[in-house]
């Protein structure tokens, strides 16, 4: 049995298959938790599972992204945005930033997508989760970043809800 669906990713075609998969899987997670699709922040991540895969994807990412335009040395702006067309009721989305994650032996996921929820609605959802109310497959992210994590043990992707778009995060970073 192959544990990781797309890994090791070795070329752009395989990368694009993983990105499409993450797009639709993460949109399904969003609908599972919120009952609707939220807009994406513009970021998509692909998770590596092998050291040599990370080396290959880093080289590939460098050919696809602008190294001088990155957020937190993590998300790199794509020279050409990636648009995934709508399929079924899942909406079209355009990704302008790509993240390739280091191998993590405890994470099996293919990748992630960040969704946007306006600050007031975000605060309300986060407060519900903090007070013990349930949003199916959602939890306040246990790490030090301010976000809501979406998950499902039967889905090999995870998603995050943020209260800022990538454009807003970049503006904040520039003003610091």
**Which of 116, 144, 114, 148 minimizes the C-alpha distance to 134?**
148
User: 5-9, 52-56, 170-174 — which is least confidently predicted?
Assistant: 170-174
Q: Tell me, what's the pLDDT at 173?
A: 61
**Across the chain, what does the average pLDDT equal?**
91
CB-CB contact of 108 with 4 (8 Å): yes
Residue 176: band (very low, low, confident or very high) from pLDDT cuts 50, 70, 90: low
| Structure confidence at residue 1 as a pLDDT band (50, 70, 90) | very low
Q: Residue 30 contacts by C-beta under 8 Å, 6 or more apart in sequence? A: 36, 37, 38, 115, 150, 159, 161
pTM of the model: 0.92
Query: Percent of the chain beyond pLDDT 90?
Result: 75
Give the model's pLDDT for residue 11. Answer: 95
Find out whether 149 and 138 touch, Cβ atoms under 8 Å: yes
Instruction: Provide mean pLDDT across the span 2-24.
Output: 92
pLDDT digits (tens, 9 = 90+) for 85-111: 999 999 999 999 999 999 988 888 999
Domains observed in the chain: 12-175 (3.10.180.10)
φ, ψ dihedrals at 119, nearest 5°: -45, -45
Lowest mean pLDDT segment, chosen from 44-53, 129-138, 145-154: 129-138
Q: What pLDDT was estimated at residue 167?
A: 66
Q: Provide the 10 A C-beta neighbour count for residue 33.
A: 24
Beta strands in 50-136 (DSSP E): 65-71, 75-84, 93-101, 111-116
Q: What integer pLDDT is reported at residue 172 of this predicted model? A: 64
Rounded mean pLDDT, 50-67: 94
Q: Quick one: which H or E segment has residue 89?
A: none
């Amino acid at each position: 049995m192959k544990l990781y669906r797309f890994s090791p990713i070795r070329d752009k075609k395989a990368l694009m298959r993983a990105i499409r998969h993450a797009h639709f899987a993460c949109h399904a997670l969003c609908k599972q938790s919120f009952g609707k699709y939220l807009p994406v922040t513009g970021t998509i991540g692909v998770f590596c599972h092998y050291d040599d895969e990370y080396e290959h994807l880093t080289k590939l990412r460098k050919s696809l992204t602008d190294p001088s335009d990155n957020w937190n040395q993590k998300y790199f702006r794509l020279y050409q945005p990636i648009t995934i067309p709508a399929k079924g009721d899942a909406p079209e989305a355009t990704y302008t930033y790509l993240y390739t994650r280091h191998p993590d032996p405890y994470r099996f996921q293919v990748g992630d997508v960040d969704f946007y929820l306006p600050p007031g609605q975000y605060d309300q959802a986060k407060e519900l989760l903090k007070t013990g109310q349930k949003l199916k497959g959602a939890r306040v992210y246990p790490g030090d970043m301010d976000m809501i994590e979406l998950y499902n043990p039967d889905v090999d992707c995870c998603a995050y809800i943020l209260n800022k778009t990538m454009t807003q995060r970049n503006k904040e970073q520039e003003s610091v």
